[in-house]
Structure formats: structure tokens, C-alpha cells
Amino acid sequence: MKTMDELVESARKTGRKRVAVAAAQEAAALEACVDAWMAGLAEPVLVGIPSLIDETAGSLGLDISRFEKVAAKDPVSASMEAVRLVRCGDADMLMKGLVDTATLLHAVFDKNAGIRSGALASHVAVMESPSYHKLLFVTDAAINIAPDLKTKVEIVNNAVRAAKALGVEAPKVALLAAVEKIDGERMPCTVDAAAITQMQRRGQIKGCLIDGPLALDNAISAENARIKKIDSPVSGEVDILVAPDIEAGNILYKCLLGLGGAKGAGIVMGASSPIVLTSRADKARTMLASIAFAVLACR
């Protein structure tokens, strides 16, 4: 799979997934639902305030008459109800509507009523860059702020799971930094990168090939690595770029999308079902691709 069009086509082939939308009275979420229905990807279940959902859809000229609705009066109860639908098998995945990401994730990771899988929540983006020969996964652009070593391992595991769901058999993972040398005194993220690289070699992280620390230029280009005399098994063939923190991850993701001419999609991994985070600022094609990504990432 090398393009976002292939991603959407591949998701379409798996058949529609039922998508529980938490607080569905929001333009971006409803537009995404209609697009995903039309594309044969999703069967939305709109959880929220029915009158507001109808009003929002009406003002946008969206036909949502065929979608199931479930009443929930506020964002918290809508989140809990959407999560319940997934837990009892009435829905396959979640989508965020007019609710804070934190509120939705709180319901997702609730000890009793949630849909935890034992893993941590992390954001995984998949990008089609005109300057790279295959899909690139980028993590974590949105959830984990300053991950410690243990959290980074979970971030890697979630991204590997997502990449495998898209058919990448043994993803190559680069742990990004500004340099390739380990500098424990001045650049602690290089130590984490070295530790995670070695954890993979020791079998503590499976199903992927990890190397780091690597600067971005040497992760994406074997030629750059050769010139700089960096011997890395992932250089030039990297599938997953792991940022050291949320600022670097967010800037990388947004640079690719906003200045790099890339197409992108993003989901939250770590629960028993993937979660689509819609945003008013996302383009329609981004949201559709994100739903397709989630469809493929459903277990």
C-alpha cells in the first residue's frame, strides 16, 4: 500500500464498519460520516442530542436520514454511550464529535466501563509524501506530551500494530532526534532511543526493526546516511517515524501536511478499537482517510 487512495480502497473492501460518533452534533463529524457512508466505509451511529444533530445536518444540507441515532444529553454521557456501543459489539470503532479529546479518552479508558486493551493511548498518523516512496507513519503528534521510556515503547507498539494493519509486515522504525550519537548529559532522548533500539534486539519489542537515535534526513535517506557514515538498517526504508515529544511530533505531522504536500490520516490507537479524531481544520480527504485507517485498524 503506497497511497492514501489505496488505503481507502483497501478499507472499502473490508466492508462497512459501524462507527459510534460521540456527541455527533458537529459539522465536521457529520460531514465525515456522510462521506464515509458514500465511500462504503462506515455505517455511522450518531450518539448525541437528536434535535441538534438534525439541525446541524440540515444547515449543511446533509442527508443523515439513514443513520441510526442514540440520544445522549451531554458530551460525557455521549462519550460513555459511544464507548458502551463498542464494548457490547454494537459498534466497531469510535469517532469524536463535539467533545474534547480528553473527555472521550476518559470514557474510553474508564476502568469499569471503558474499552481498554492494556495498552496506552497514542496518536498514529499515516502520510503519503510526494518525496517518499511508501506510506510513512508518524507518532505521536497529539496525545503523549513528554513520553518517558516506557511510554515511548507503548507508542512504538501502537504504531507497529497500525502499520501491520495496513499490510506492513515488519515495519522499520526510526527513533528521531537531532543527532545520531548518544548524549546522555545534554540530549536525554538519545538515551531513550538507544535503549529502545536495544530492547528490540533483546526481543522486548517484537514484530519490527528499530534504530535510533536518527536525525530525520538519515532516517529517510540511505544516501544521506552513507555520506554521514551512519550504518543503520532502517535508513531510507523507514516506515515509522517516532518523535521524541509532542512538539516535535506535531511539527513533523503538520509540516508534512501543511508545507510538504503530503496527504495524511490519523487515529488514536491503544484502546480495543481505534478512535477517529475529527477536526474542523481537517480537509474532507483527511477525515475520510482517517476513517479508512481506523477501519483497517479495527481488530
In the complex, the residues that contact its own copies under the rule CB under 8 A are 129-132, 141-142, 145-146, 176-178, 186-187, 189, 215-217, 220-221, 224, 227-228, 243-252, 254-262, 280-281
User: Residue 254's CB: how many other CB atoms inside 10 A?
Assistant: 15
Q: Which is nearer to its own copies, 41 or 257 (CB)?
A: 257
Shortest distance, CB of residue 276 to its own copies, whole angstroms? 18
CA distance 91 to 256: 32
Shortest distance, CB of residue 244 to its own copies, whole angstroms? 5
Q: Which is nearer to its own copies, 41 or 135 (CB)?
A: 135
Shortest distance, CB of residue 103 to its own copies, whole angstroms? 16
Q: How far is CA 192 from CA 102, 137, 143, 176, 239, in A?
A: 27, 20, 19, 10, 19
Q: Which is nearer to its own copies, 81 or 128 (CB)?
A: 128
Q: Which is nearer to its own copies, 141 or 234 (CB)?
A: 141
By C-alpha distance, which of 111, 103, 102, 97 is closest to 56?
A: 97
CA distance 225 to 290: 32
CA distance 72 to 61: 23
Q: Which is nearer to its own copies, 79 or 129 (CB)?
A: 129
Shortest distance, CB of residue 39 to its own copies, whole angstroms? 23
Shortest distance, CB of residue 119 to its own copies, whole angstroms? 21
Name the one residue in this structure whose C-alpha cell is 442527508.
63
